[in-house]
Amino acid sequence: MTATAEAPAAGEVASFEVTLRIRRMNPEGTSEHGAGEEYWEEHTIQAHATDRVLDALHKIKWDIDGSLAFRRSCAHGVCGSDAMRINARNRLACKTLLKDLNPAKPIMVEPIKGLPVEKDLIVDMEPFFASYREIMPFLMTSGPTPERERLQTPEERQRFDDTTKCILCAACTTSCPVFWTDGQYFGPQAIVGAHRFIFDSRDEGQWDRLEILNDKAGVWKCRTAFNCTEACPRGIEVTKAISEVKKVLNTGEI
């Protein structure tokens, strides 16, 4: 998804046809499908060069079948609503351009894996947010509150920059083979969330968080499959963050 010199200029309309194969499930059933039954459905639509998978889903929902259910809000990759499995890889639908996928084959769109499917592309996000809450994702300090800001050098600020970018989209956690099979593991996002505070020079709650991550549901479950790093739409080096946390646990030094 990087720059291509031949990309048509804005406003130029290069139209092409694409087919989406969408994994569907209606918990209440439809005239053709039973309640909870999972099935594939295909739609072919006209797309433009700047269209994203989200635009294609909207075309289907708005002009063909309003019952198609998915979450979305910002439409430019910053709110974390629309992580889904697109051609067997976790991505944000609003950040995946159709022209960057092979248009010769149907584009496969499925809900993210490892969380209960509620309807079509919507999954239950509660277990994911529960893991995030578990690692105490808030600044912990002791002593009196200072008058002015707490000081932090640009280098100290840079130390945890990468993990501050997380938008809680769950693409990483739901791409993790350990998370799929192990009912206990917090998943990579919770470690990213903890990393953001562990390496913040202002925070004093590192050891509380590290203790949680040292638990059986924590970092040691990670088998460095790297799926999470590949999946992260914010370009966070998730595996690196996890290994930095492991290293602190091994050495006792931050």
Q: Which of 47, 68, 81, 86 binds ligand FES (CB under 6 A)?
A: 81
Is residue 164 close enough to count as binding another protein by CB under 8 A? yes
Residue 219 interacting partner from ligand FES, another protein, ligand SF4, none (CB closer than 5 to 8 Å by kind) = none
Chain positions 214 to 253 lying near another protein, rule: CB under 8 A, are: none
Is residue 92 close enough to count as binding ligand SF4 by CB under 6 A? no
Is residue 111 close enough to count as binding ligand FES by CB under 6 A? no
Residue 92 interacting partner from ligand SF4, ligand FES, another protein, none (CB closer than 5 to 8 Å by kind) = ligand FES
For ligand SF4, give the closer residue by CB, 99 or 195.
195
For ligand FES, give the closer residue by CB, 7 or 74.
74
Stretch that binds ligand FES, among 30-38, 78-86, 130-138, 182-190 (CB under 6 A): 78-86
For ligand SF4, give the closer residue by CB, 45 or 125.
125
SS3 annotation, the chain: CCCCCCCCCCCCCCEEEEEEEEEEECCCCCCCCCCCCEEEEEEEEEEECCCEHHHHHHHHHHHCCCCCCCCCCCCCCCCCCCEEEECCEEEEHHHCEHHHCCCCCCEEEECCCCCCEEECCEECCHHHHHHHHHCCCCCCCCCCCCCCCCCCCHHHHHHCHHHHCCCCCCCCHHHCHHHHHCCCCCCHHHHHHHHHHHCCCCCCCHHHHHHHHCCCCCHHHCCCCCHHHHHCCCCCCHHHHHHHHHHHHHHCCC
Minimum gap (Å) between residue 183 Cβ and another protein? 22
Minimum gap (Å) between residue 137 Cβ and ligand SF4? 12
